[in-house]
């Protein structure tokens, strides 16, 4: 597909000459005044526009300003083709966003060369913007992965610290339990010994005093 160029020129003969120079290499469309040119550019969204300055309804400066203030078409390169040679006019056009000037009467080779240069620059700019977008997307993805890894690491460290804390608490709980468990057998043996002595006393003294009898009933040796 050929690159699209829109020519906005009120002089029919000049517009025809421009078309003949360019149409072998590009898809060329023409509008005869600024208003029609703006509408055509919005419709075709060309790769480049060539504007005359002195035109009816809306001059080239105003047309350029409108193009550059419209988001959908503001990146389209604009070349002014004019008979105006005053530096002030050129500065004004460049300040409005034009990329170049071609002075009338023009040379076919100059038009082709300037159009080709600015189309190449536009292509390089688009490629660079795409590369920047792709690189930014990759960096963003890498950053998200790094942040996720950091969160996992922090969570892992938290769980490790919690595990150590639980282990420490368990150790503190187990120490007295182990002490008690280790001495239960000894205590049990001692109690059994005391119970045997008590039963011997019961055999030797079958009729103890009331106070001793009451205490034995309170303890309930058979249950123990």
pLDDT tens column, 98-131: 999 998 888 999 999 999 999 999 989 888 888 8
Residue 172 lies in a domain: no
> Nearest to residue 121, comparing CAs of 81, 75, 80, 82?
75
Q: What is the pLDDT of residues 8-46, one digit of tens each?
A: 999 999 999 999 999 999 999 999 999 999 999 999 999
CATH number for the domain harbouring residue 38: 3.40.50.2300
Q: Between the CA of residue 196 and those of 20, 32, 126, 202, 216, what are the distances in Å?
A: 131, 129, 104, 10, 14
pLDDT at 3 over 70: yes
Q: In the block, which residue shows the tokens 């509408």?
A: 39
Backbone angles phi, psi at 79, to 5 degrees: -110, 125
pLDDT at residue 215, rounded to an integer: 64
Residue 43 lies in a domain: yes
Q: What is the pLDDT of residues 150-189, one digit of tens each?
A: 888 778 777 777 777 777 766 666 666 565 666 666 666 6
pLDDT at residue 35, rounded to an integer: 95
Residue 38 lies in a domain: yes
Domain residues for the domain of 36 are 4-106
pLDDT at residue 30, rounded to an integer: 97
Number of domains in the chain: 1
């Amino acid at each position: 597909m050929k690159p699209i160029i829109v020519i906005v020129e009120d002089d029919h003969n000049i517009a025809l000459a421009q078309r003949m120079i360019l149409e072998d290499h590009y898809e060329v469309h023409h509008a005869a005044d600024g208003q029609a040119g703006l509408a055509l550019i919005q419709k075709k969204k060309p790769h480049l526009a060539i504007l005359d300055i002195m035109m009816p309804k809306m001059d080239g400066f105003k047309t350029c300003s409108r193009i550059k203030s419209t988001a959908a078409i503001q990146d389209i390169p604009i070349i002014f083709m004019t008979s105006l040679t005053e530096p002030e006019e050129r500065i004004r056009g460049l300040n409005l966003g034009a990329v170049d000037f071609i002075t009338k009467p023009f040379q076919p080779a100059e038009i082709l060369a300037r159009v080709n240069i600015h189309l190449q620059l536009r292509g390089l700019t688009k490629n660079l913007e795409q590369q920047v977008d792709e690189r930014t997307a990759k960096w963003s993805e890498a950053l998200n992965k790094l942040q996720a890894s950091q969160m996992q690491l922090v969570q892992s460290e938290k769980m490790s610290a919690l595990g150590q804390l639980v282990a420490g608490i368990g150790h503190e709980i187990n120490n007295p339990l182990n002490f008690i468990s280790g001495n239960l057998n000894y205590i049990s043996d001692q109690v059994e010994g005391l119970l045997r002595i008590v039963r011997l006393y019961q055999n030797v003294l079958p009729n103890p005093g009331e106070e001793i009898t009451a205490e034995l009933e309170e303890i309930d040796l058979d249950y123990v």
